[in-house]
Structures are given as C-alpha cells and as structure tokens.
Structure 1
Amino acid sequence: MMIDLQIIQDNLPAFLDGARVTILLLLASAAAGLSLSLPLAVARVSANPFLSRPVFLFTYVLRGTPLLVQLFMVYFGLAQFDLVRESSLWPLLREPWFCAWIAFTLNTAAYTTEMLAGALRATPAGEVEAARSLGMTGFDIYTRILIPGAVRRALPQYGNELVMLMHATSIASAVTLVEITRVARDVHANTLLAVEAFGTAALFYLALTLCITGLFRLLERRLLRHLARPAGAS
C-alpha cells in the first residue's frame, strides 16, 4: 500500500485554512478564558462563601461534564428560547464560530480557575507577611505578589491546558466549523483514503502541539529560572 502524496498536496490549502480556524479559535478562547479565570481564582480562594461557592459550582459543573455536551448546549440549546432569539445578541449566538468560542472559553476558564486557585493557595506565607510589613494594601498584595507568583507557578500546567484546548477544538466540526478535523473528514469522504486524510490532520495537530510546548518551555526558562538548580549543586 502506497500513500497518495498527490491527494495530500491537492488538499493542503484546505488543511491550511482549517489550521487557521483552529489557531484563531484556540487563541480567542485561551485569551478570554485566562482573563475570566484570574478574578474567578481570587474569588475561589476567598474566605467569603458568597464568593467562593458560586465559583466552585461553576468549575465543578464545567469540569464535570463533557465539552461536546457544553458545545451542543450553547449552539442548539440557546436557540430554543424565544428570549434569546429575540435579543440583540441573536445574530452572534446563531453563528457556530461564536458559539464554539463561548463553549471553549467557559470550559478552559473553569480548568484555569482551579489551576490558579491551587497556585494561589501554594503561595508561601512569608511572601504575604513580608508584603504586609512593607505596608502593602490587600489589592497591592494580590496584584504585585499573589497573582504574578501564582501565574508563574501554574505556567507548566497551563501549557498542558492549552495543548488540551487545542486538541479539543477538533469537536468544533460538530457545529459545522471547518477546522482541521472537518477538513480531514471531508477529504476522507471524497477520496475514501483515511491515512492521507487523518494522517495529515494528525501532523498538523502535532506541529501545533510542538509549537505550544516549545513556547512554554521558553517562558518557563525565563520566568522560572530562579527555581533552577545552580550548576554543580548537589
């Protein structure tokens, strides 16, 4: 059996277009999810139950249900309510790209919130005490000590979360988005060549994974170099 390279070459522009959709969806969802997770993580570790418990419920539900179900709930579920269809947001909510963005944003925000909350709890007490001794306010302690430190500590985990989010974008084809997996399905339907279709898709996902992991390795070396063991240390 020989791999038909001509089929791959002929469909390469379609795969590149699909990769563009995948990357845009990944970046938009990750940026919005991270922005949402920062205040949610602060609320999650709050001693006030009126702040922490709603965030716990949000993360528990989003992490405890399949992302595909969440996507269907947003894309198909919202459309059944007259209030939604008659609202000014309906032109956006009926678009598959926007619905996928909402679902992926909320999902990654839930995981990132718990990730950052754990990193906030792991902050050494001495850092907080030192900040208070310098007369810092609670807001200053969070913005200058707690959150930056938590982000640095959570960086390796967050890199894995972005890889998982990138892989999860493959289900966006279920709501008609033409990303990498949808292109592979179309190529397979037209040619009946599974290796050429899905093998090419796998190479695209592998390349994106290598780019993400490589970027986070650079960030870790820069932001976590103070944790590296000095040369010659036992």
Structure 2
Amino acid sequence: MSTVKELIPPRPAPPQAGRPTTPARVIGGAMMLLWICLGLGLIAMMISNWDQEKFLRYGPRFLSGLWTTLSLVGISIVFGALLSVPITFGRMSSNRLAGAVSYAYVYVFRGTPLLAQLFLIYYGLGSFRPVLQAMDLWWFFRDAWYCGILALTLNTAAYQAEILRGAIRSVPRGQREGAAALGLPKGVTFRKIIVPQALIVALRPYGNEIILMIKGSAVVSIVTVLDLMGETQYAFSRTFDYQTYLWAAIFYLTIVEVLRHSWAAIERRLTQHLKR
C-alpha cells in the first residue's frame, strides 16, 4: 500500500487570456465614445441655455402632462388586461365562431397603426353623433380623453391577449397530465398550476408592452389631449425652443428606465426558485 509523502505545492491561478482587439470592438468603442460626447454636449447646452422664467412658467405644465400620461397608460393597461382574458379564451376555444371573432379582433388591432385607430374612434365615430346621442353615449365619444383611453385599451388588449395565449401554450402538457393523474379538476389545474407558470413566462413581455404603451400614448396629443407630449407641443408653440422636446425625451426616458428596473426586480423576486 503506497502513501503520499510530499504534497503538490500551491500554484497561482493561470492568467486570464486577454480579449483580442477586433474591428467590431474598435467600432463599438468608437460609437460608445461618440454617444457619450453627444450626451455631454446636450447636457452642457441645456445648462448654458437654462431659462429660469421658462422653467417656472412651463414646469408645472410638464408635470401635469406627465401625470396625464401615467394615468392614461395605467387605466388603459388595466382595462386592456381585463379585456384580453375573454379574447385569449376565444383564441384558444374550439368554438369556430369564438375563435374567428377573437382572431379578427387581434388581427385588426395588431395590424393597423394606433394613430389610425385613434382617428377612427375620435373622428370616425363622431360622424354618428345623432345615433350616439340617442344611445346616450355622446358624452363619452365627444371627449378626447375618453376616446384616447378607449383606443389605447382596445390596442393593448389585442397584444396582451397574444402574450397571455402564448404563455399558457408554453406550459408543458405534462403539467396537465400530472394534475389529471392526481384527480384535480380542470378548473383547479388551470388556476393553480397553469396560470402561475404562464404569468411568470409572460412577465417580461408584459413589461415590454407597458413600455411600448408609454411611448405610444404620445399620439393622443394629436386629438387635443394635453399629456406630456401635448404640453410639450404647447410649450414649443409659445417659445419656439426645441429644448422643450429634449425635456420631454428625458421624462419619457426616465419613466421607461424606472419601469424597466422595477420590472426586473419583480421578475428576480418571482423567479428566485428557478435559479440554481
């Protein structure tokens, strides 16, 4: 029987291999440097051209427009989520009529521009004023705010329905088979097994949809809704200072970044059990 008399002396870790310099890395670094210089230039220009009077006059209007944008998107997202549920079940239904109606809805609202949908609701339905007055609905369709909410809700419902349907379809069939083998009812299986897994899969697409809605909501300014973009256009029409649009871009970028990091934190929290 042999024994070890001498131990192998400790050795330092091998040096890490250096990353070679490639044309792609050089171009990427140059573009990053260019963007940094442009950003610093914009910041310096905004500081040098700072106008206290304009800030005091139009700052509150920007904050009011920001609140309008957030409330508009929040209401639309909530109502769109509620509307997307029956659309999702219609798309997954074996009933041909329900499937055809749901497919047509999703096809139309995903295949046409949001601006065109807004115009059809605000200007198109306004042509039927006598009918709407007879149905006591004119108070709704004469207000640009309500028309904007309706257009955004119908649009996001189509996208959310496809997100939810894809997430439900992504759950492996074995989950249903295992639940059936345990004797669980289909309703319990769907609510407590399928839906929780589907929502985790749909979490990131839902976040992307909310970000797209925040940026897409700027179209409501065309129909006289004074959201963030509407207040920006108002300030520009009074001052002819293009920095108003830079401030609007900063506001939108801040909203998107806050939402992105918040959504990433929620995703990390809900998917801790999936990490090893």
Q: What's the TM-score once normalised by structure 1's chain length?
A: 0.92
User: Which structure's CA Rg is the greater one?
Assistant: 2
2:226 counterpart residue number: 178
Residues 1:207 and 2:268 aligned together = no
1:146 counterpart residue number: 194
Q: 1:3 aligns with which of 27, 40, 49?
A: 49
**Partner Cα separation in structure 2 for residue 142 and residue 51 of structure 1:** 20
**Contact 1:15–1:180 (8 Å) recurs in 2:** yes
**Partner Cα separation in structure 2 for residue 68 and residue 214 of structure 1:** 29
Higher relative contact order (CA 8 A, sep 6+): 1
Q: 1:85 aligns with which of 133, 145, 151?
A: 133
Gaps of 5+ in 1: none
Q: How many residues align?
A: 228
Q: 1:54 aligns with which of 101, 106, 109?
A: 101
What one-letter code is carried by the residue in structure 2 that aligns with 1:78?
Answer: L
Gaps of 5+ in 2: 1-44
Residues 1:112 and 2:160 aligned together = yes
**Contact 1:37–1:109 (8 Å) recurs in 2:** yes
What displacement does 1:226 show?
A: 2.5
Question: 1:147/1:52 Cα in 2 relative to 1: closer, same or farther (>3 Å)?
Answer: farther
What displacement does 1:65 show?
A: 0.3
What one-letter code is carried by the residue in structure 2 that aligns with 1:217?
Answer: A
**Contact 1:45–1:121 (8 Å) recurs in 2:** no
**Contact 1:14–1:183 (8 Å) recurs in 2:** yes
Residues 1:63 and 2:115 aligned together = no
Task: Report which stretch shifted further, 32-41 or 170-179.
Answer: 32-41
1:84-119 CA-partner distances (Å, limit 9, x unpaired): 232122212211111111100010000010111111
**Contact 1:79–1:85 (8 Å) recurs in 2:** no
1:194 counterpart residue number: 242
**Partner Cα separation in structure 1 for residue 86 and residue 200 of structure 2:** 16
Identity over aligned pairs, percent: 35
What displacement does 1:138 show?
A: 2.4
Structural RMSD (CA): 1.4
1:18 counterpart residue number: 65
What one-letter code is carried by the residue in structure 2 that aligns with 1:101?
Answer: I
What one-letter code is carried by the residue in structure 2 that aligns with 1:142?
Answer: F
Q: 2:143 aligns with which of 84, 95, 99?
A: 95
Q: 2:74 aligns with which of 27, 33, 37?
A: 27
**Contact 1:75–1:94 (8 Å) recurs in 2:** yes
What one-letter code is carried by the residue in structure 1 that aligns with 2:197?
Answer: G
